Amino acid sequence: MANVIDPDQQIWVFTSEGAYLTKYSREYLEKLAYKNIRLPEDERLIKTRKRAGRYELWLPDLLRYKDEIGNGPLNIPKK
């Protein structure tokens, strides 16, 4: 399913909302946001901002990241 978002929309999500939408853990997205926000804006994989002590991620970038990287680690069966 293609993710189609109008480019004129301002769509920012908190890490908990992004975790719900992408199935990544909230902790993973917080670490990703923490690493991203320390990079110069033009080098970030995902547009990131911090407001009121919480990270916000640009949803179109987050969905693109999810499509390129995938949904977390491989499910390897335990022996």
Q: What is the pLDDT of residues 30-48, one digit of tens each?
A: 999 999 999 999 999 899 9
Write down the domain spans for the chain. Answer: 12-69
The residue with greater pLDDT, 76 or 23, is 23
User: Does the pLDDT at position 77 exceed 90?
Assistant: no
* pTM of the predicted model over 0.85: no
Share of the chain above pLDDT 70, in %: 77
Half-sphere exposure for 9 (CA within 13 Å, toward CB): 10
Q: What is the pLDDT of residue 56?
A: 95
User: Does the pLDDT at position 64 exceed 80?
Assistant: yes
Paired sense of beta strands 48-51 and 12-14, if any: unpaired
Task: Cite the DSSP H helix spans in 1-79.
Answer: 15-22, 26-37, 59-69
